Amino acid sequence: MPYLDHDDARLYFEDSGGDGMPVLLTHGFGASTGSWAGQVAAFKDRYRIIAWDMRGHGATECPEDLAHFSQAKIEADMAALLDHLGIEKAVIGGHSLGGFMSMAFNVRHPERVRALYLQGCGPGYRRDEARATWNLRAEARAKSLEDGGLAALGGGAEVRASIQNTATGLALAARGILSQVDARVIDSLPGISVPVLILIGDGDSDYLDGSHYMASRIPGAENVLVADAGHGVNVDQPDAVNKALGAFLDGL
């Protein structure tokens, strides 16, 4: 199994090894590399598809200490993974939390981003009160995992397509990565200068407003609404997602 040892963590990743343009895909909270199986299969012959497991998720190993779980750590992990694979610039894409982290990576490392693929996600919050409300939900998610174990995970199709090791790691990820800390991502939207594809299922009610907001703020962003799909849109409707994503990637 391929791992990268970085900053006290062993990051699990899957590299299709293709010769085409590299695409780094980051899963959502409670999911893992398995959630991207339909996209890897569809594009591995044309592009170099790299999927990986964030700290607390899937097969990635990390000390069970909150100090090792933060958005800054994830941004650094993404950069280290690209370095390890000899990739200077890539399409950076993600689902839900992974989509937010893709935008955060663009804030920190814009020179390494060829384009952005933002699936079923939002841009965070500008107001302290809104962030506090979100963080109460993240803390409740963490507590439910500590009390109920992996049985309390729940989630959509992308979660069911994934494998997790421990509920403790997910609880730490909820507190340290899922929690909102500032407005840097939402404030960055008008300045995004790379091509952007925003895609969301029409039944993903929690993120529809955020997705449309991003589309209205990011210059030239393409916004795709997929019918008959929930939060795990790429698992619910892989053909529709692959058609839109393929056209976007081919256009680059």
Confidence of residue 177 (pLDDT cuts 50, 70, 90): very high
**Whether the predicted pLDDT of 1 surpasses 80:** no
71-130 pLDDT, tens per residue? 999 999 999 999 999 999 999 999 999 999 999 999 999 999 999 999 999 999 999 999
Is there a contact between 168 and 148 (Cβ–Cβ < 8 Å)? no
The whole-number pLDDT of residue 45 equals 94
| CA proximity to 60, closest of 6, 135, 129, 128 | 6
32-62 pLDDT, tens per residue? 999 999 999 999 999 999 999 999 999 999 9
Record the tokens describing residue 134, joined without a space. Answer: 């979100």
The whole-number pLDDT of residue 127 equals 96
| CA proximity to 228, closest of 167, 134, 157, 123 | 157
The whole-number pLDDT of residue 17 equals 81
111-122 pLDDT, tens per residue? 999 999 999 999
Query: What gap in Å lies between CA 183 and CA 70, rounded to an integer?
Result: 15
Helix, strand, coil percentages (3-state) for the chain, rounded to 5, are 50, 20, 35
- Packed helices 71-84 and 97-108: angle between N→C axes, nearest 10 degrees: 70
| 201 Cβ contact list (under 8 Å, min separation 6) | 120, 225, 226, 228, 229, 230, 231, 232, 233, 236, 237
The whole-number pLDDT of residue 154 equals 87
Q: What percent of the chain has pLDDT over 70?
A: 100
The whole-number pLDDT of residue 18 equals 79
Phi, psi angles (nearest 5°) of residue 230: -100, -150
Full set of structural domains in the chain with CATH: 3-251 (3.40.50.1820)
Give Rg (Cα) of the chain: 16
Record the tokens describing residue 201, joined without a space. Answer: 């299922």
Query: What gap in Å lies between CA 102 and CA 49, rounded to an integer?
Result: 15
Lowest mean pLDDT among 100-104, 119-123, 145-149, 152-156: 152-156
Average pLDDT over residues 143-163: 94
Distance of CA 239 to the CA centre of its chain: 20
Q: What percent of the chain has pLDDT over 90?
A: 97
The whole-number pLDDT of residue 3 equals 97
Average pLDDT over residues 61-65: 96
Mean pLDDT across the chain: 97
